[in-house]
A and B are shown apart, each in its own frame.
Chain A
Amino acid sequence: MNQSSNQGLAPGTRETYSRLHRWLQRGLFVCLTALVLEGTFTFPFLLVWYGWPTLSLQEMCSELQKHRFSDDTRECIYPYPLFGPAEGAGQTTAQDEWGVQPRPKYERIGFRDLVRFRDERLAREAAAKQTPDPGLAIGVRE
C-alpha cells in the first residue's frame, strides 16, 4: 500500500504528518473495500433472504406489501401508473401501536419466511374452499 517505499514520503505528506497519513490511508482502504463488497453483495443477499428464485420479484413485492399492511388481499401493481397516487395512500389495515412513537406490530421476517407466509396463506385459502358452507364449518369447530 505504500507506494513511496523507494522515494521516502508521498508528495504532499510532510514528516510531521506521515504517521497520521499512513493511518488515514489504511482507514480509507478498509472503507473502500467494504463499500465495494456491500455494493456487490447486498442485492443478491436480499434477493435470496426474501425468497428469490421461488418468488419472482413481483411476488416478493406483493408479499412484502401484504406483510407491511397486514392485508392478504394487497397485490403489487406493476407497472405502476405514472403520476398515480401513492400506492399505500389511505390504507386502513396496517397494525401499529400508536404513541409518542408508533411501533409496528408486524412480525420479523426470517430467512425465506416470505415463501412460508405465501404457502401458509395458499393452504388457508385451499382449506376455506374445501368447506364451502361456513355455517357447517363453524358447527364442526364448535
Chain B
Amino acid sequence: MERAAVASGYDVHQEQSREAQRQADRWMLPGAIMMTTAILGPIGFPLFLKGMSIQRKAALQGLSVRPMICTLLGYLVIMDSGLNSIGWSLDLVAHHSLINRTLVTAWGNMFDAGYYWHYNELWIGGTGAPGEKSWEIGLVPTVFCMRLAAAIGFLQMKRWGHQWLIVTCWFGVIYWVGYVANMTMFADLRYTGVVFPVIGWWIYDIFYITPFLAIPYLHTVNREIFSD
C-alpha cells in the first residue's frame, strides 16, 4: 500500500513536470523557428522569453524540468543551423528571387563579397566565390539537417539527441576550421570593396560558434539525465 502511494506521488510529480515542460516548449519552439526566418524575429523573441519564464517558474516550484543550460544549448543549435540553412538554401535554390538578389547580395556587399562578386553568373546560380558553393552543397543537406533533428531530440532529453548533437558539433568544428581557412585563402576576392571588411565579418559571424561551446558541455554532462 505504502509503496503504491509513494509511486503515485512520484508519478504525479513527473506528470506535472512533463506538463510544465511541454507548456514552456509550446512558447519557445515557435519563437525560435520565427527567429530563424530573419524577418519574424521581433515576434519570435517575446514568445521565446515567455516560454523561458514559464520554465524558470516551474523550476523554482521544484518541478524537475530541463536544466536551463540544455534549453539554451538546444535552442541555440536550432537558431544556428536554421539561420545557416535559410541563407544557404536561398543561395542554392532561390538565387533569382527578388529578396535574395537584393538583401543577400546587399549583405554580401557589406560583409563578404563572396555573395556579391559575379553573383548569379555561374550556371548553377548564386555565389560566384570558389569554395563557398561547395560548402553549401556539402553542408546544408547533411550536417545542418542532422543538427536540427539532433537539437530537437536533445531538447526532449533523449539519449540519441545527446549523441547526435556530439557528432554534429564535431562536424561543426570541421566546417568552422575549413570555412575560415577558405575565407582567408580567398581574402582578396571576398573583402575587396566591401563596406566592413574583416572586422565586420568577424563581429557578424563569431556568434555562430555554438559547437565550441557545446562540445565541452556534452562531454561533461552526466549522461543519465538523458533517456533511451
Contacts and interface: CB of A to CB of B under 8 A. Distances in A.
7 contacts: A6-B60, A11-B64, A28-B73, A30-B207, A40-B35, A76-B101, A103-B188
Interface string A67-84: 010000000101110001
Interface in B16-48: 35-39, 41-42, 44-45, 48
Contact of A11 (B67, B101, B113): B67
Nearest to B73: A28
Q: Tell me what chain B mostly uses at the interface: helix, strand, loop, or mixed.
A: helix
Interface residues of B, number: 70
B28 to A, nearest CB: 11
Contacts of A35: 35, 76, 79-80, 83, 207-208
Interface in A48-71: 49-50, 57-58, 60-61, 64-65, 68
B134 interface: no
Nearest to B39: A43
B181 to A, nearest CB: 15
Interface stretch (B4-12, B116-124, B135-143): B116-124
Interface string A89-109: 101001000000111111111
A3 B117 contact: no
Given A58-B98, A103-B192, A3 B79 contact: no
Interface of A: 1-4, 6-7, 10-14, 16-17, 20-21, 24-25, 27-32, 34-36, 38-40, 42-43, 46-47, 49-50, 57-58, 60-61, 64-65, 68, 76, 78-80, 84-89, 91, 94, 101-110
B106 to A, nearest CB: 5
Interface in B65-81: 67-70, 72-73, 75-76, 79-80
